[in-house]
A = this chain, B = another copy of it.
Amino acid sequence: MTMLIRKATADDAKAIVEIILPTIREGATYALDPNMSEADALAYWMGPDKETFVAEEDGAVLGTYYMRPNQAGGGRHVCNCGYMTSAAATGRGVARRMCEHSLEHARSRGYRAMQFNFVVSTNERAVRLWQSLGFGIVGRLPVAFQHPTAGDVDAFVMYQQL
């Protein structure tokens, strides 16, 4: 069983929705409207400003990520990514594999840094994973996130030069 990471196609839309919608509905890790429609969620994740990838194993999509320029103009050499893993595949290193893939892809595209704008501080597993892959916490946003169960919490800006 080899995990393959490849560009997403229109045929992956259903599998991607099944991964991203539960996470969006939970509202605990992404600053997105938990009630957004399936169509809006898909438009967000696979929008024309983004390159979208899937992590696949034996024909099953286990995770997905996107990459886009984080800013335009003089800031377009820094990219931004978002990653989500299927609940069923959690703990198997899918996010790590996707992030490693994204760093390599970003370099190949000429990006010179990668920035995560809003990492919820309670998402400790993600914070540790990004740190282990070279990201530093370069900013802390005080009580910038209203967590559905933890209440008001901080968010981090994480960054890595490539």
Q: Which residues of A contact B (CB under 8 A)?
A: 24, 27-28, 30-34, 36, 71-78, 112-113, 115, 117-118, 120, 138-148, 155, 157, 159, 161
Q: Is the CB of A157 within 8 A of B145?
A: no
Q: Is the CB of B157 within 8 A of A141?
A: yes
Pick the contact of A34 from B71, B73, B77 — CB < 8 Å?
B73
Residues of chain B with a CB closer than 8 A to A78's CB = 141, 144
Q: Is the CB of B138 within 8 A of A75?
A: no
Residues of chain B with a CB closer than 8 A to A140's CB = 138-139
Question: Could you say how many copies of this chain the assembly holds?
Answer: 2
Given the contacts A115-B141, A138-B140, A141-B157, A33 and B72 also touching, CB distance less than 8 Å:
yes
- A136's closest neighbor in chain B, by CB? B142
Q: Is the CB of A144 within 8 A of B157?
A: no
Interface centre among A71, A113, A155 (most CB of B within 10 A): A71
Pick the contact of A75 from B71, B112, B115, B145 — CB < 8 Å?
B145
Interface centre among A28, A77, A120 (most CB of B within 10 A): A77
Q: Is the CB of A144 within 8 A of B118?
A: no
Pick the contact of A31 from B71, B117, B139, B144 — CB < 8 Å?
B71
- A24's closest neighbor in chain B, by CB? B73
In the assembled complex, the CB of A28 is this many whole angstroms from the nearest CB of chain B, namely: 8
Given the contacts A113-B144, A157-B157, A33 and B138 also touching, CB distance less than 8 Å:
no
Residues of chain B with a CB closer than 8 A to A157's CB = 139, 141, 157
